[in-house]
Each structure stands twice: as structure tokens, then as C-alpha cells.
């Protein structure tokens, strides 16, 4: 979703020929990718919402960078300002006017490894052959989903085993 919104005809693809897509091709590819994803996963209502609110030709220019002839300075400035704001509040919050060598050290040891991991994840270079690492909220959701996916009988069996185990422990004392 985010990938489609940030493509632009002035930015070449990450390939050997430095090929550039037209705005129409970017829109067509984004629509096709999202439609196929929704179709494969049985998300017809989601597709209807996405088409009506995001992907139809009338709404696309409101959110997609590719609809404009130039790359917005505001967009690139916001990214840079966001990076420095995050650096200031997450890494440098304990230092008052750090000297340049400390700043470079913190960027090299604390910021760049995180950025590299995020790039590897988004570029699908995340340990080739391994599944992508789940975000903490995804891992928690997966655990809850697995628990809720169990049948009522499995839940009763677990409760019975827990009660029997507690009774056996109390008899052992």
C-alpha cells in the first residue's frame, strides 16, 4: 500500500536499466496488485472500499506522488524532519548539545543498524529463506488468534488438566 503511494515517474526502478514508469503505468500496477491481493484473499468488500476511496482515477491524485509532475519538496522535507525528530527524541534525549564525535558514534551504533533492518525487511532481503520477522503486535495477535482458534472442548480439557494438576499439588503437601 505504501509502496504504491511513493512511486514516481522521476524515480527509477531498482533494476539494471534504471527504467522509469509513467504515472499511468504506476496507477495501473497499483490497482492490479491491490485487486489481485483482495481477490486472492476473498476481500471483495475491502476492494470496493479501496477502489471507491483510494484507487479510482478521481481519488488517486489525492494520495499518490506519481500523479504530480514533480516530487513534492514538502514530502521529502517531512521525511528528513521526521528522521531528525526521531533521532533527537529517541537517541539523543539524554544528551544536552552532544559533540560531533558522540553524535556520529550514536548514529553509527544505534540508528544505522535499525535503518538497515527496516530496509532489509521492506526490500525482502530479510534473511533469505527465512520468513519475515513478526512485529510485536503481530506476534501477540498470532498468540491470541491461536488460543481463540481452539475448540471449546480443547479449552475445557486445558482447564480440567489445570484443576487436576492443582489438586495433585495440594495433595502432595
CA dist., res. 44 & res. 46, Å (int): 5
Quick check: 173 pLDDT over 60? Answer: no
Length of the chain: 173
pLDDT at 129: 63
pLDDT at 5: 62
49-58 pLDDT tens trace: 889 888 888 8
CA dist., res. 170 & res. 164, Å (int): 10
**CA 66, 67, 71: angle at the middle one, nearest 5?**
55
CA dist., res. 118 & res. 126, Å (int): 9
Domain locations in the chain as residue ranges: 1-69, 72-132, 136-172
Percent of the chain with pLDDT over 90: 7
Q: Could you say which DSSP state residue 145 is in?
A: H
Quick check: 1 pLDDT over 60? Answer: no
Percent of the chain with pLDDT over 70: 76
CA dist., res. 160 & res. 15, Å (int): 59
Compute the Cα dihedral for 102, 76, 8, 118 and give only its sign.
Answer: positive
Between residues 41 and 135, the one the model is more confident about: 41
Between residues 17 and 95, the one the model is more confident about: 95
pLDDT at 39: 92
Amino acid at each position: 500500500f505504501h509502496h504504491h503511494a511513493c512511486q514516481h515517474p522521476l524515480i527509477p526502478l531498482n533494476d539494471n536499466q534504471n527504467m522509469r514508469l509513467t504515472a499511468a503505468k504506476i496507477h495501473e500496477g497499483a490497482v492490479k496488485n491491490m485487486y489481485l491481493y483482495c481477490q486472492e484473499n476473498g476481500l471483495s468488500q475491502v476492494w470496493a472500499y479501496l477502489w471507491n476511496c483510494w484507487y479510482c482515477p478521481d481519488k488517486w491524485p489525492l494520495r499518490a506522488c506519481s500523479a504530480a509532475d514533480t516530487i513534492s519538496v514538502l514530502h521529502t522535507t517531512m521525511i528528513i524532519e521526521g528522521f531528525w525528530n526521531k533521532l533527537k527524541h529517541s537517541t539523543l534525549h539524554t544528551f544536552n548539545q552532544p559533540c560531533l564525535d558522540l553524535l556520529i558514534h550514536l548514529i553509527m551504533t544505534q540508528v544505522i543498524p535499525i535503518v538497515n533492518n527496516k530496509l532489509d525487511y521492506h526490500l525482502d532481503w530479510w534473511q533469505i529463506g527465512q520468513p519475515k520477522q513478526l512485529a510485536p503486535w503481530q506476534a501477540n495477535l498470532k498468540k491470541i488468534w491461536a488460543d481463540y482458534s481452539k475448540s471449546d472442548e480443547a479449552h475445557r480439557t486445558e482447564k480440567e488438566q489445570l484443576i487436576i494438576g492443582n489438586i495433585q499439588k495440594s495433595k502432595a503437601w
